[in-house]
């Protein structure tokens, strides 16, 4: 009888473990960092998550990640124009940060490779929870990225755009941002490229008291890439975070969002758009902890599904015992444009406080025929009219952002997707 | 311009016949009024003219400039010059009104083999039309019809009609919901569109509108048929005596 039924490693697991031995000498890090890398690769050795792990139920990574590409030192990604003109661009090209960086008053930028080498990045490398596969993958291999510090009271009038661009191979990047008390900023996280890459990207945001941040994740990987991403934020007292996530590409995508309100009066808004086409898999998983009283959050996710695309939104809201007067609302609406596509929504509310207002709703609809008729009755041909209505469905979420430059920039990305997939 | 011959139509979903052998002819340059009790099929007729798929024509034909339009989809009918001002215009969240107007106007131009409008020219036309209808441009910055009051929606329909310059205009109860001043403004707008090569069909319950827009012919629709036609005096007669007499004669 077989007592130890450790399943056989998949080709992807084997490739990752071998790659770690190969790369070890090249990876920056002091003793502490290297120990965390060891822990991380041990987690991978025990197997990638399968559907049996609750938070990975809809995305069986072990099965879906059929293979991983080798690291490709020759891959040459190029920086791209920022979505909002005049933004300060911090590019990471093929996993490597730049030495030539724009200077912005009140903003200090450090290359993450330096912070790994001197060990100051070590505390951020700890996994969250027990099934943090993306965190483990990233901690094992991360070599670079940025750490951005926006000093107290700084109000930026132009966005900072963090670009993570790949041209194949593997890239593992970390982007850390601290926003000081009372500071105000728009941060764009661009995830794109042209290769069949394996990308892991972890963003960490710390919001000081009364800080006000709009963070836009614009993910437009090619439909050959695997994109495993994590966004983690801590919101201090009276801090306000609006997170906008747009997934408009990638073959296998998992975007995790882990947000904790740690100060009273904190306010979190999530707006998400998933534009899903072809034979792709996109999973947005959010875990939101209301840890203190008097915090609010709303989440609105809009999905457009065509082709054989599959999408998932898991939204878990934990309202801790002392987090009275929490106000949390979640909605996930899907426009299903093909019979072969699908979208699964899993809202989860864990409420341990008694004086809270929490709600969620999910809908799956098709195009409204009376709306289509109205537009066509004005001479707009069926294809164009459908395009207008689909765009309208998601544009509503964008328009809420209420900043003309950002709205225009995101609508331009939207138009780009519709031209390619309309 | 418009010839409806022995038209029978039913609701696709449940097969109920709504239009039951309807005949109507409207000539170019003519303003025709259609009146009739609630539920007699006036809006249904207007939807069928515009090509709404919820209804199915089972018999008869609709000729527009001598050609049957039954095989044309709503967009083709619209670009061939048919316009319906809806009794209940739909709110379409997320579709910007200005963007919609631009696309719709350019579709008309494309059908006529013209170049798309340049932005300044487009804006000028919209501004002029809005001013003539006493509409605030701020309203047009909102999504299409969303949150418009009843009367604002009706004005917005007429604004679209002015901008699209159709040949056959069908106005379904455009007067209901309009205040007294708006009724005058909208009527002036419609009258300005009167021309020898344009036909206007006005569906209304009230003589009041017909004082502003004088019809050449008046038709009474009842149970899916035109049961009586006459000149503008017929509308006055209906206003004074109700439908009972006309219905009684026809029965
Ligand atoms: N899609 C539909 N489904 C069910 N019933 C319908 C539908 N369309 C029309 N009807 C019915 O057909 C009849 C005619 O309706 P229609 O709206 O054409 O009347 P109308 O003459 O415009 O009335 P009103 O003066 O009240 O506007 C009504 O009994 C109505 O309920
Ligand atoms: Mg009606």
A253 has a pLDDT exceeding 90: yes
- pLDDT per position as a tens digit, B87-119: 999 999 889 999 999 999 999 999 989 999 999
Query: B45 C-alpha vs ligand 1 centroid, how far in Å?
Result: 9
Three-class HEC string of A120-189: CCHHHHCCCCCCCHHHHHHHHHCCEEEEEEECCCCECCCCEEEEEEECCCEEEEEEEEEECCCCEEEEEE
Model confidence band, residue A369 (pLDDT cutoffs 50, 70, 90): very high
Share of chain A above pLDDT 90, in %: 81
Q: How far apart are CA A10 and CA A47, in angstroms?
A: 9
Candidates B75, B95, B99; nearest CB to A379: B75
Model confidence band, residue A105 (pLDDT cutoffs 50, 70, 90): very high
Give me the sheet containing B168-172, strands edge to edge. Answer: B82-85, B168-172, B199-203, B31-35, B217-222, B225-230
A248 has a pLDDT exceeding 90: yes
Please state the domain extents for chain A. Answer: 11-367
CB-CB contact of B117 with B105 (8 Å) = yes
Model confidence band, residue A1 (pLDDT cutoffs 50, 70, 90): very low
- Residue owning the nearest CA to atom 16 of ligand 1: B41
Closest by Cα among A274, A414, A401 to A345: A274
Predicted local confidence at residue B94, as pLDDT: 87
Q: Which residues of chain A neighbour B146 with C-beta distances below 8 Å? A: none
- pLDDT per position as a tens digit, B164-195: 999 999 999 999 888 888 899 999 989 999 99
Beta-bridge partners for A185 = A213
* Mean pLDDT across B137-165: 93
Nearest-CA distance from A9 to chain B in Å?
A: 48
Q: How far apart are CA A257 and CA A144, in angstroms?
A: 21
CB-CB contact of A169 with A72 (8 Å) = yes
Query: B87 C-alpha vs ligand 2 centroid, how far in Å?
Result: 6
- pLDDT per position as a tens digit, A167-225: 999 999 999 999 999 999 999 999 999 999 999 999 999 999 999 999 999 999 999 99
Sign of the Cα torsion A37, A43, A48, A54 reads: negative
The least confident of A140-154, A260-274, A320-334, B145-159 is A320-334
Tell whether ligand 1 has an atom less than 6 A from the beta carbon of residue B38.
yes
* Mean pLDDT across A288-297: 88
Predicted local confidence at residue A4, as pLDDT: 54
Q: How far apart are CA A394 and CA A306, in angstroms?
A: 14
Ion ligand 2 — residues with CB < 5 Å: B 42-43, 87
Predicted local confidence at residue A5, as pLDDT: 54
CB-CB contact of A57 with A67 (8 Å) = no
B9 has a pLDDT exceeding 70: yes
Predicted local confidence at residue A322, as pLDDT: 83
Instruction: Give the CA dihedral A41, A45, A49, A53, nearest 10 degrees.
Output: -110
Please state the domain extents for chain B. Answer: 2-94+166-250
A388–B50: do the CB atoms touch at under 8 Å?
A: no
Predicted local confidence at residue A419, as pLDDT: 83
- pLDDT per position as a tens digit, A372-382: 999 999 999 99
Q: How far apart are CA A123 and CA A139, in angstroms?
A: 11
A2 has a pLDDT exceeding 50: no
ipTM: 0.96
Q: How far apart are CA B182 and CA A382, in angstroms?
A: 33
Query: A30 C-alpha vs ligand 2 centroid, how far in Å?
Result: 78
A292 has a pLDDT exceeding 90: no
CB-CB contact of B104 with B125 (8 Å) = no
* Mean pLDDT across A65-93: 94
- How many CB atoms sit inside 10 A of residue B93's CB? 18
Longest dimension (CA), chain B: 58
Share of chain A above pLDDT 70, in %: 98
What predicted TM-score, i.e. pTM, was given to this entire model? 0.85
B103–A384: do the CB atoms touch at under 8 Å?
A: yes
B100–A391: do the CB atoms touch at under 8 Å?
A: no
| Residue in B with minimal Cα distance to A368 | B92
Candidates A373, A388, A396; nearest CB to B103: A388
Query: B34 C-alpha vs ligand 1 centroid, how far in Å?
Result: 15
Beta-bridge partners for B63 = B3, B68
- For residue B6, the SS3 value is strand
* Mean pLDDT across A1-6: 52
Model confidence band, residue B74 (pLDDT cutoffs 50, 70, 90): very high
Candidates B73, B92, B99; nearest CB to A376: B73
* Cα→Cα distances B227→A232, B49, B223, B249, Å: 72, 19, 9, 9
Q: What CATH topology corresponds to B2-94+166-250?
A: Rossmann fold (3.40.50)
H helix and E strand count, chain A: 8, 19
Tell whether ligand 1 has an atom less than 6 A from the beta carbon of residue B42.
yes
* Mean pLDDT across B26-52: 96
């Amino acid at each position: 009888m077989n007592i130890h039924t450790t399943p056989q490693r998949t080709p992807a697991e084997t490739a990752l473990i071998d790659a770690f031995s190969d790369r070890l000498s090249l990876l920056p890090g002091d003793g502490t960092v290297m120990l965390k890398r060891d822990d991380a690769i041990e987690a991978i050795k025990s197997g990638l998550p399968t559907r049996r792990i609750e938070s990975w139920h809809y995305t069986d990574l072990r099965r879906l990640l059929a293979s991983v590409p080798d690291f490709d030192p020759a891959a040459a990604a190029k920086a791209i124009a920022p979505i909002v003109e005049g933004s300060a661009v911090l590019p990471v090209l093929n996993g490597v940060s730049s030495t030539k960086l724009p200077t912005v008053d009140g903003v200090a930028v450090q290359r993450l490779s330096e912070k790994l080498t001197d060990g100051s990045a070590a505390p951020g490398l700890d996994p969250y929870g027990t099934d943090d596969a993306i965190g483990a993958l990233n901690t094992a291999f991360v070599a670079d990225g940025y750490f951005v510090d926006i000093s107290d009271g700084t109000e930026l009038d132009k966005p900072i755009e963090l670009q993570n661009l790949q041209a194949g191979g593997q890239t593992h990047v970390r982007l850390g941002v601290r926003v000081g008390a009372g500071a105000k900023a728009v941060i764009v996280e661009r995830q794109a490229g042209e290769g069949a890459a394996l990308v892991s990207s972890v963003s960490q945001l710390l919001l000081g008291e009364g800080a006000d941040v709009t963070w836009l994740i614009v993910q437009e990987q090619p439909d050959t890439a695997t994109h495993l991403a994590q966004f983690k934020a801590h919101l201090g007292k009276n801090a306000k975070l609006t997170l906008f996530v747009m997934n408009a590409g990638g073959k296998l995508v998992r975007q995790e969002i882990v947000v904790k309100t740690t100060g009273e009066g904190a306010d979190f808004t999530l707006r998400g758009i998933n534009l899903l086409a072809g034979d792709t898999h996109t999973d947005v998983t959010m875990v939101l902890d209301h840890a203190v009283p008097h915090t609010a959050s709303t989440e609105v996710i809009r999905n457009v599904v065509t082709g054989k695309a599959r999408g998932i939104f898991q939204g878990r809201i934990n309202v801790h015992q002392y987090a009275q007067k929490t106000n949390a609302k979640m909605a996930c609406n899907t426009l299903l444009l093909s019979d072969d596509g699908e979208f699964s929504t899993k809202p989860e509310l864990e409420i341990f406080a008694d004086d809270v207002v929490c709600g969620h709703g999910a809908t799956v609809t098709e195009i409204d025929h009376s709306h289509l008729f109205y537009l066509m009755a004005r001479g707009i041909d069926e294809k164009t009219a459908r395009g207008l209505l689909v765009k309208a469905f998601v544009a509503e979420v964008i328009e809420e952002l209420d900043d003309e430059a950002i709205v225009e920039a995101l609508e331009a990305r939207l138009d780009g997707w519709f031209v390619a997939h309309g | 311009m418009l010839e409806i011959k022995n038209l029978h139509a039913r609701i696709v979903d449940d097969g109920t016949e709504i239009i039951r052998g309807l005949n109507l002819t409207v000539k170019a340059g003519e303003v025709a009024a259609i009146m009739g009790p609630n539920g007699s099929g006036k809006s249904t007729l207007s939807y069928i003219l515009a090509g709404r798929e919820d209804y199915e024509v089972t018999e008869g034909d609709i000729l527009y400039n001598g050609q049957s339009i039954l095989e044309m989809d709503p967009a083709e009918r619209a670009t061939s010059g048919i316009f319906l001002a809806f009794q209940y215009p739909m709110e379409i969240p997320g579709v910007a009104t200005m963007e919609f107007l631009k696309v719709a106007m350019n579709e008309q131009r494309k059908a006529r083999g013209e170049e798309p409008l340049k932005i300044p020219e487009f804006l000028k036309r919209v501004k002029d039309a809005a001013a003539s209808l006493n509409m605030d441009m701020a309203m047009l910055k909102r999504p299409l019809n969303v949150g418009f009051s009843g009367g604002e929606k009706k004005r917005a329909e007429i604004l679209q009609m002015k901008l699209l310059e159709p040949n056959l205009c069908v106005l379904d109860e455009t007067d209901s919901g309009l205040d007294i001043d708006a009724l005058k403004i909208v009527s002036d707008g419609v009258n300005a569109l009167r021309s020898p090569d344009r036909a206007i069909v006005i569906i209304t319950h009230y003589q009041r509108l017909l004082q502003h827009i004088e019809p050449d012919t008046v038709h009474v629709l009842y149970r899916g048929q035109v049961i009586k036609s006459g000149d503008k005096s017929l509308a006055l007669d209906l206003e004074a005596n109700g439908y009972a007499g006309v219905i009684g004669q026809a029965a």
